[in-house]
Structure 1
Amino acid sequence: MKNLNDTLPELMRRATENLEPESTDLVERGMARGLTLRRRRTALFTATGATAVVATAAVIVGGNQLFAKDAPPPAASTTTKQSTTITQQAPKPATLNETKATLIKLLPARLKVAKAQVWDDGGGYQAELLVNDGKGLSLLSLAIRPPANDSGCSNQKPGTCTTRADGSRLTVMNEEIEERAAGVLFNHVYVVRPSGQSIVLSSFNGSTVTRKGAVTVEKTRAKPALTTAELIGMVDSRAWRFPPKLVESNTPDKPQPTSPGVSKPPVPVQQTLQTLRAVLPKGLQVTQPTTRGGLPDDYNAASVLVDDGKGKSYVEAFVTYEVPMIKKCGVEGAPNHCKVLPGGGVAGWDKNSPEYSDARQAKEGVLGNTAVIRYADGRYISITSYNAVGEKGSKHTRPRPAISVEKLLEMAGDKDWKFPGTKK
């Protein structure tokens, strides 16, 4: 089972991976960089396609002919031919509420809406509906984007993407298996109109469930509530209006500030390893200690294999010192679960997070528990425990990671950690 933040919105991001990147502020870049240094796991598959747009030429021509037929004849003294033109203004960008209303309006009549939410993700709009036709709840996810670059069908799964006669591109996935959510299937349609505007719709045979503060998706019915044919009909509707187009700035990006820990007194990597061993739960067999980083890098990393008698688990700690910034939850690169710390900064965690997003996950079955603390002054630490002897490249050795998220957060918050470039 995977949480909703890592399952459904991720599908939207995978579908729009080839679009132009969204502009992010320093906070987002800082958070993303921190997790990238932790060897952020990215095994995303893209789904790029196309949609239909109805040509307006026939409307304009028909309008002109009707106007000409109903117009009064020219005065007898007029010798010049009169001409009449119709100017069509581009539709105004849609608002969030208008997008939600359009999505609900286009639903088949048999479906009743149990819950609806919509939000701006910085590059377009996303929405989620829980619908019910009497056979169980079904999640419907939407992502809608203004014009942006698109790579066409070249990188898509064979047979899923086609270019239509009007130049639009359509990707269709029928009853695809969501490998990291038991029994969950989804129907998926992604269209890119000739104008570059795109719409993604996905219908699942599952719904969201909250347990102990964690949001997950679970199977609630045999099949998704909407078929791919119904999804195509919805995305091809002329009722859609799109979010505002992103305004590109001609101002070059400012260079990212250098980490304040560079060229300052380092922390020996062996000291980081010693701290990791000291904060581990008691009673574990500890083997294969390794380190990396140190000078001239601005980070330290240490890892060990631990065994509680139920199988080996790879555990890695990563410490660094970033540019101090305002910390908040919900930014790009942040963990799926997050809370703001009383003294500033954030603590985040991921529980039983799958290592892969493709068929390798079913083959290797590697899961990770991760705890992250980013302090307001720029100190950053992450600790991850896997249910395998490594992050990638080997099958799992136990059902779950040896160390729980709760214990990892306790370990990460230990006062004995020292951060490169600081005296803390």
Structure 2
Amino acid sequence: MSGTDEDRDREAFVDGLGEALQIAGETFNVAGGPLVDGGVVRGRRRLRRRRAATVTGSFAALAAVGFGASYAAGAFGAEAEHGSPVAAQPRPGSTTQGKTSTPGEGPHFPASHLIKTLEELLPDGKFSSESGRGTEGELGPLASVVFDDGKGKAAIGLSLGRVDPEGTRVAEQLACPEKDYTPYDSCSSKKLADGSRLLLLRGYEYPDKRADTKWWHAYMVTPEGFIVDASEWNAPAEKGEPASRDEPPLSTAQLKALVTSKEWRPILRALPKPQDEPVQSLAPQATGGETILKNLTSLLPKSAKVSTRQGEDGFAYVVVNDGKGASLVQINVQPNMSDVEGELFSSGAQTLPDGTKVVTHQGPGEKGGQGVAMWTVDTIRKDGFRVLISAFNSGSQNTPATRTTPALTMTQLKAIATSERWRG
């Protein structure tokens, strides 16, 4: 390979993989983070609920209701120890509700060791665009390569982390996504003989399949809370490069073998134990998934019959049908959001008599479904309590419109978002 080709491969891989992993990683460990744009559920789905840059962009996946790279945390553009910007990956303890401070039990390993270990565990082939980060870095260890077994170049990335194995977010990461939001070919989640829990998924980089890029993923958590997280694509980059082969290079069995390999154990032992911190919450009873679902369904018009429902911390969605076709309605309930009020509720915001600010938006959906429209009402109380609701003219953002307009009007959406029931 010429130097020019290798540079191009490296740049494409770093840009693509880095973008996806950063999207997932920026705020995974922040309670109630904002919303992540297209393509991310269980892996990315509970990420980025806390900070949102715009009204339209912020609601793209409320609690991340797509499914893309499920790397838990890191920093986009962080310099790799190997000498170039690398894809962000989970840092130790990032998937807990607290910070990591307790020293690990083993010696540290440099980026070169992680890259070498990854390459030795992969089938025979050629490697390029190697990047990595060692165990001493604040952002946590990772390794990424472009792999070519003679059937086409493919990006492969793996990261290591450590979490509270009994934490609720671990269970969320290990659950298969809802197909209402995320098309995939196969998904399994099971407990292994040693007590580790493993998720294996064959999915797509884009839920609307606007590109041929496939994304296959393995996520394992050991009984001690060690995480091994691997992803592969059928392209030399997760985004920005055309598919170079029909499928990613590793089979499901090979992905499982990769993340369960004992070669990672010495490196994992270098990671510090997570230390929990209290999570600030205005009123947990008001932001729990079941409570949000209960409130949302009680505030829906009688004509909107609920066919599907799902709730989780800070978020819920329903699919309703008023006899004119399926319509997705999703809502995010976030306390303590005063610090983004200036960004989200400045120009064009309406202020109600009680001080609540309201912003509305009507536009196209953001996940590629043909003809999908998204109607949004975003509200924030004087104390920073935010309710963000959106309705669609389809039962899923990824599928074509099933009706002309959403089942709820803007007036109805506003009434739901500003209801005092959320404060009860």
> How high is the TM-score relative to the length of structure 1?
0.45
Max Rg structure: 1
TM-score by length of 2: 0.45
